Structure 1
């Protein structure tokens, strides 16, 4: 409550729907920003450690690799979790529900968020969609144990749930790169959509969009780091698809830059750059002395760039290849962000309509430009 995330109107639900009822026995505790997981904690072996993790303000990974991972070690990619409580209640604050509202949730996960909503609004006013049948089954068991029974649907979250529409509020507990049109169409005029939204390049924030006349528009409220909606996961070509077996620098042209690769590594910096560089993503190749190469790729495999970071250096070697000069685009995108006063997430916004989606800065009539 000190941070302002947990408001007084959510206190009864918070007390009646405890997080520990929705967390499995084996969890991998994370850190606050959700970007790293710690070793497994097993309730049967370490009940004190388990309760300590559950009632810490951290996310808890509950499934790896869409359920294919077994054992106590870390998997490759987290695929289901219990979100950090501060983020849960911050998003519920953004959602701003009122008595009688009907809510569609995308991503049931452990069921805790659906349980909080059902307690607050009534079971008949909450529909939650989960794409993973095993995760959905576990959520259903958790909710029944808690004495709650909102409507649970196993299906493709992109499609929402038309039989229950229209909804006054839509909330997603997974991130998207494109806000599905169905979410807008199934929301009442004046209704609100709250969803994590991120670029392919990187960076993510919570979008709070108000729906009017088939258009959803609004600002980003805060930084976030959620798992991507499974149907919108990026299919990034491997490194070998770019150099085609040729040794670096292949056919690339050499140059230098004063922009340190480290200066585009922050979460908001990635977001600002990614808004301007559609169809581009990055990877890092690290070396023992703290140096690294920042690789930037185009999704069509036609263009790539490498920028070599050396600790303490004032300029950095760059190689670029292909029709897109990807490091030039990175420099232009970063320069634009600097020129706008290095804006944070809350100065950016998003508009979604029948023509697609457009990011903007400060107001919808100030669209974020393309760096290409």
Structure 2
């Protein structure tokens, strides 16, 4: 997903191969070196999908932390769009999710492909908003040989397992 926020984290080593810490309030930005830029994406063909109502305002993805939370939930997705019209796309699986305003108010999402991207992003954003839409420094991460988990509030709070 086009990341709108790249937080830094301060980790404390808690054992061999294990660390935990919180994300910092300051934002970090890094310029990608030309030879390290990702390969170009193939062309995106918007295809029909299964449509349903969504109770999550897609504009939440425009928020710095909201976009980051969405990326935690769907790490392989690329995001384009703004406001009520967002497109999430996983180039590897071909999965897509497109949001739009609903004629009678609210929003709809059309999804297709093996990964239901909005079905992953919507509950993550709802958990974040239910917690008061806190900034990134309300999140932490635990790293071990078993994997990495980003959590909200405390280590046993709601969280997301990151791909290894």
Taking structure 1 as the reference length, the TM-score comes to 0.37
Structure 1 counterpart of 2:22 = 219
User: Relative to total residues, which structure has the larger helix share, 1 or 2?
Assistant: 1
Structure with higher Rg: it is: 1
Q: CA RMSD in A?
A: 2.9
Pairing of 1:1-372 with structure 2 (within 5 A): 200=1, 202=3, 203-214=5-16, 215-227=18-30, 234-235=38-39, 237-240=41-44, 243=45, 248=46, 250-284=47-81, 293-308=85-100, 314-366=105-157, 368-369=159-160
Q: Are the structure 2 counterparts of residues 348 and 296 from structure 1 closer, same or farther at C-alpha, using a change threshold of 3 Å?
A: same
User: Relative to total residues, which structure has the larger strand share, 1 or 2?
Assistant: 2
CA distance in 1, matches of 2:158, 2:128: 13
CA distance in 2, matches of 1:274, 1:236: 19
| Unmatched tracts of structure 1, length 5 or more | 1-199
Kept in 2: contact 1:210–1:217 (CA 8 A): yes
CA distance in 2, matches of 1:297, 1:342: 24
SS at match of 2:159: coil
Kept in 2: contact 1:261–1:309 (CA 8 A): no
* Paired positions, count: 157
- How far is the alpha carbon of 1:208 from its aligned partner? 0.7
- How far is the alpha carbon of 1:334 from its aligned partner? 1.1
Taking structure 2 as the reference length, the TM-score comes to 0.76
Q: Are the structure 2 counterparts of residues 361 and 323 from structure 1 closer, same or farther at C-alpha, using a change threshold of 3 Å?
A: same
CA distance in 1, matches of 2:80, 2:26: 21
- How far is the alpha carbon of 1:222 from its aligned partner? 0.9
Kept in 1: contact 2:22–2:141 (CA 8 A): yes
CA distance in 1, matches of 2:69, 2:98: 20
CA distance in 1, matches of 2:154, 2:85: 36
Runs (4 or more) in structure 1 with deviation over 4 Å come to 228-236
